[in-house]
Chains A and B, each alone.
Chain A
Amino acid sequence: MRYIGKKLAAMIITLLCISFLVYLAFDLIPGDAALAALGTDATPESLAALREQLGLNRPFLERYLEWLVHFLCGDFGTSYKYHMPVADMIVSKLPITVIMAVISFFMMVVISLPVGIYTAKHSGRRIDRFVMALNQVVMSVPHFFMGILITYLFGMLLKFFTPGGFVSYETDFWGFLSYIIFPCFAIALPKIAMSVKLLRSSCIEESKKDYVRTAYSKGNNTNKVLYRHVLRNAIIPVITLWGMTLADMLVGSIVIEQVFNIPGIGRILLTSISYRDYPVVEAVIVLIAFVVIVTNFVVDVIYQLVDPRISV
C-alpha cells in the first residue's frame, strides 16, 4: 500500500513537470497561436486583438497555472485552431491509436513467444542461425522505414490494401481493422525481433543453471524442464521488455500514423505543434506521459506477481 502511494506521488510530480516543460517550451520557441492563425494577413492591431482574446499577452506563469487548474477540473480547454473542445478532439481519435498499440502488442506476444522458445531449443542449428540473422536485420530497421517497406510490398505490389485508404472505425470497423493491421505489423516487427532475441538468450542462459540439471536428474524430459522450470525464470526479463514496449508502441504509432496516413492522436499532435495550439499539445502530451507512467507501474506490479522473490 505504501509502495503504491509512493509510486502515485512520483507519478503526479512527473506529470506536473512534463506539463510545465511543454508550456515552457512553447513559450521559448518562436511564433505563437495568434501569429500562426493570422499568417501573412496579420496587422499589429489584429495580432494584439487576437492575443488579448486568447489570453496570450498575460504572464507565462499565470497562463500555466490557469491552464493547470482548469485541466485538473477536467476542462481541457478549446483548440485555438479548430474552435472545438480539446476533449472531443482527443476522444474521437484516441481509439485509433490505442487499438493500433493493442494489436501490435498482441502480435508481438503471439509471434515472439513461440519463435523465441523454438530458436532456444534449436540453438546453434541452421534454422536458429537463419532466424537469428533475419532477426538482426529486422531489429535494425526503424519502424517508419519498415512501414514504407510494408506499404510497398503489401500495398503497391501485392495490393492487399490501398495505401492511404484508411477508413474510420466509426464508419466501417472491419475496413478499419483490415487497414491498420499493416501499420501494426510495422510497429510490431522490430519489437518482435527484440523479444525473440531476449527470450532465446534468456532461455539458453537459464538452461545452463544447476536447477536445470537437477530437474533433468529427477526424470523430466526436455519439454517439461523447458516449460515448467526454465521458461518461468527466463520470461521475467522479457516481461519487463514487453512492458516498456507497450508504452513505446503508443509513441511508435505516432510516427507510423504519418507513414500510413492515419488520422490518429499522432496527426493531431503534430499539426497542433506546428499551429502552436497549446491546449491540444498539452492535453495530448500529458495523456501520453500518463499512459507511459501507468504502464510502467503496471509492469512493476506484474513483475512481482511473476517472481515473488522480487519485493519492492
Chain B
Amino acid sequence: MAKRRQGLGKVLLASMLLTLTVALGGCSGDKQDGDSEKVSDTAAASHITIGIPQDLDSLVPSLSQGAGTQEILYNIYEGLYKPDSEGNLVPAVASDYTMSEDGLVYTFTLRDGIKFHNGNPVTAADVKYSIDTCAGLNGGEPVISAFSNIVGVEAPDENTIVITLKESSSSFMAILSTVEAAIVPADAADLQTNPIGTGPYKFVSRSLQENVVLERFDGYWGEPAHIKDVTLKVLADSDSIVMNLEGGAVDLVARISAAQAAELGDDFEVLEGTMNLVQAVYLNNAVAPFDNEKVRQALCYAVNRQEILDFVSEGKGTLVGSSMFPAFGKYYIEELNDLYTTDIEKAKALLVEAGYPDGFSFTMKVPSNYQQHVDTAQVVAEQLKQIGVTADIELIEWETWLSDVYQGRDFEATLVGVDASTLTAGAMLSRFRSDAHNNFINYNNQEYDAAYAEALAAESVMDDDKATEAYKKCETILAGTAANVYIQDMCELVAVRKGYTGYTFYPLYIQDFSKLDIQ
C-alpha cells in the first residue's frame, strides 16, 4: 500500500511539473521564433521602437502640456515656422514672411501645395483657425499666454496670412514656432482621437500607457523621413530601461543615466549631448540666511562642480556660471564659469563676515523623480559640510515641488534644472525680475530689473546687439550676486541600437524621428 501511495504522489507531482513546463516552455518557444522573424521583418519594412518615459498627455497640440509630449508631437505637427537642430527658425507651413517697420504686422506666405495627413490642402482658413484658437480669438482664454498679444489674424487671400500684434515682440516668432501653435485643419472632428497635422509622420494608433504608433507621411512637403514605422513605447519604470533595451523590446531611449549607459552591452551606441538646462541649487533669496549675498557666495565657493560631475555622471556635463546654457550661443558667457573656483578658506571667511562663523543648517528640497538631481544633492551636501554648513535633503514628489516650491515659494533651497521653453533669452532670464510671477527664488535686484528693462526696450526697436549686451549684463549680475549656486548643463545620453543612425540633438526639447535611418 505504501508503494502505491508513493506512486500516486509521484504521478501527481510529475504531471503538475509537466503542465508547468509545457505552459511556460511551450509559449516561450513560439515567442522565440516570433522574435527572430520580427527582427528580419523590421529590417525590410524599416521600423524602430523608441522608449518614452511617460505617455503623451494630449494629442491636440494646443492642449499639450508636458515637454515630453511636445517633443513627440513635433513629428506630427508643424507651425508656420519651426526650430531646426541649430536652433534657427526655418519655414514650415509658411514659406516666407515679412515684418512691418514697427514690428507689429507679420505677413506670411503659405507654402505651395502643402497637405495635411488626410490629403486636404492647407488653406489660409486653417491657419487663421489655428492661430485664433491659440490666441483665444475664437472665444475663451488664450491657450498660449504670450499670444494674448495678438489683436487680429486676417486671411486676405488663399496664400496669405496677416497677424497683427498689440506691441512688438522679439520672441513672437519663437513662440509661433512652438508645437502648441501648430497648424491644424479647421474642420477636424476630434484631434484627440484622430490627430491630423502636416509633419513628416502621421498618427496611426494609440493604446493608453502602452504605445503610440506613427507612420511616415508620404505626402510630406520637405525631406521625407527614412524609417517607415515608428512605435513609441511607454516605459514608465526607469529601472526597466536597460532590460527593455537589452531584451530587444526597444531600440532607442533618450536621456538615460550614466549608470544605465554603463550597463549596456556592445549592441548599443551611447550618444552624448547636453540637456539644455541650468542645474543649480536654487536659493530662496527672501529667507535667512540666503537673503545675505555673502552667504550665497560662500556656498558657491564651497561647491566643487567638477567633483560633482565626476561623481554623478562620470565627468560628463558642461559647467555653467549663470542662468544660461551653451546652446544659446550669443547669450552664453563662458567666463562666468570661473567666477567662483572652489576655495574653502574664502568660503569660511565669507561666512564669518556674514555672521555665521559656526555655519548653519538648511533644508534642500529635491524632486525625487529626478535621480540625477538627487545624486547631485547628496554630493553638494557632503561638500558643504567642509564649511560647517549642513544641508538636509528632503525628497518630495514632483507635484509637491510644483505646488510648494515653485508656486508657494515655501523652501530654503532646492536642487533642480531650469530649462527654456523657447530659444529666447527671456525664457531663461525674465523669471528673475523682482515682480515676475515665476520668480520662485524671490530674486530682488533693482540693477537686474533695470538691465532687463533695457534689453526689452532694445528689442522693441529691433536693436539686437544692444539687447544681447543687456541680457549678458543680466547674467553677470545673477552670477555676481550669487543668486543661485550654479552647477552645470547636464549631459544627455541617448542609447541607440547599432544599425540605427541619424539621431540628432536639438537645443530645445525635440525628438526628431525623421532624421533617423537604418544602416
Question: Given contacts A32-B403, A271-B55, A274-B399, are A82 and B208 in contact (CB under 8 A)?
Answer: yes
Residue of B at shortest CB range from A92?
Answer: B208
B54 at interface, CB cutoff 8 A: yes
* Pairwise interchain contact B31-A160, C-beta atoms closer than 8 A: yes
Contacts of A267 in B (CB 8 A): 209, 236
Contacts of A47 in B (CB 8 A): 407
A31 at interface, CB cutoff 8 A: yes
* Pairwise interchain contact A156-B246, C-beta atoms closer than 8 A: yes
* Pairwise interchain contact B145-A43, C-beta atoms closer than 8 A: yes
A178 at interface, CB cutoff 8 A: yes
Bitwise interface map of A from 1 to 41 toward B, beta carbon under 8 Å scored 1, else 0: 00000000000000000000000000001111001111111
A214 at interface, CB cutoff 8 A: no
Residue of A at shortest CB range from B55?
Answer: A271
Q: Taking each of B1, B210, B237, B437, which has the highest tally of chain A beta carbons within 10 Å of its own beta carbon?
A: B210
For chain B, what secondary structure do more than half of its interface residues adopt (helix, strand, loop), or is it mixed?
Answer: helix
A174 at interface, CB cutoff 8 A: yes
Contacts of B66 in A (CB 8 A): 39
B44 at interface, CB cutoff 8 A: no
* Pairwise interchain contact B249-A160, C-beta atoms closer than 8 A: no
Partner of A263, one of B234, B400, B406, B418: B234
A115 at interface, CB cutoff 8 A: yes
Within 8 A of B (CB), among A198-231: 221-223
With an 8 Å Cβ cutoff, the count of chain B residues facing the other chain is 62
Bound: A182/B27 CA distance, A: 11
Bound: A84/B55 CA distance, A: 14
* Pairwise interchain contact B247-A39, C-beta atoms closer than 8 A: no
B120 at interface, CB cutoff 8 A: no
Chain A: interface residue count, which band?
35 or more
Bitwise interface map of A from 145 to 173 toward B, beta carbon under 8 Å scored 1, else 0: 00000010011101111111110101000
For chain A, what secondary structure do more than half of its interface residues adopt (helix, strand, loop), or is it mixed?
Answer: helix
Question: Given contacts A40-B402, A44-B437, are A261 and B247 in contact (CB under 8 A)?
Answer: no
A270 at interface, CB cutoff 8 A: yes
* Pairwise interchain contact B403-A110, C-beta atoms closer than 8 A: no
Contacts of A46 in B (CB 8 A): 141, 145
B112 at interface, CB cutoff 8 A: no
A87 at interface, CB cutoff 8 A: no
* Pairwise interchain contact A164-B250, C-beta atoms closer than 8 A: yes
Closest CB in chain B relative to A295 CB, distance in Å: 25
Question: Given contacts A82-B57, A83-B63, A110-B16, are A160 and B28 in contact (CB under 8 A)?
Answer: yes
Bitwise interface map of A from 48 to 90 toward B, beta carbon under 8 Å scored 1, else 0: 0100000000000000000000000000000001111000010
A296 at interface, CB cutoff 8 A: no
* Pairwise interchain contact A258-B237, C-beta atoms closer than 8 A: yes
Contacts of A276 in B (CB 8 A): 399
Contacts of A49 in B (CB 8 A): 141
B398 at interface, CB cutoff 8 A: yes
Bound: A168/B211 CA distance, A: 10
**Chain A interface: which of B18-26, B88-96, B217-225, B268-276?**
B18-26
* Pairwise interchain contact A164-B207, C-beta atoms closer than 8 A: no
Contacts of A162 in B (CB 8 A): 31, 35, 247-249
Bitwise interface map of A from 239 to 260 toward B, beta carbon under 8 Å scored 1, else 0: 0000000000000000000110
Partner of B13, one of A38, A115, A258: A115
B139 at interface, CB cutoff 8 A: no
* Pairwise interchain contact B210-A263, C-beta atoms closer than 8 A: yes
* Pairwise interchain contact B403-A31, C-beta atoms closer than 8 A: yes
Contacts of B406 in A (CB 8 A): 40, 42
A114 at interface, CB cutoff 8 A: yes
Bound: A43/B399 CA distance, A: 16
Can you name 11 extra interface pairs (CB under 8 A) apart from A263-B207, A270-B236? A32-B403, A35-B402, A37-B57, A42-B402, A45-B145, A115-B13, A117-B12, A159-B28, A160-B32, A178-B31, A179-B31
Q: Which A residues have a C-beta under 8 Å from some C-beta of B?
A: 29-32, 35-47, 49, 81-84, 89, 92-93, 110-111, 114-115, 117-118, 121-122, 151, 154-156, 158-166, 168, 170, 174-175, 177-179, 181-182, 185, 221-223, 258-259, 261, 263, 267-268, 270-271, 274-276
**Which 5 interchain pairs have the tightest Cβ spacing?**
A160-B28, A178-B27, A31-B399, A164-B244, A164-B249
21 A-B pairs with C-beta separation under 8 A: A30-B399, A35-B399, A35-B407, A38-B65, A42-B438, A117-B12, A122-B9, A164-B233, A164-B240, A164-B249, A164-B250, A165-B247, A168-B210, A177-B27, A178-B27, A261-B235, A263-B207, A263-B236, A271-B54, A271-B209, A275-B399
Q: Which B residues have a C-beta under 8 Å from some C-beta of A?
A: 1, 5-6, 8-9, 12-13, 16, 19-20, 23-25, 27-28, 30-32, 34-35, 54-55, 57-58, 60, 63, 65-66, 141, 145, 192-193, 207-210, 233-237, 240, 243-244, 246-250, 397-400, 402-404, 406-407, 418, 421, 437-438
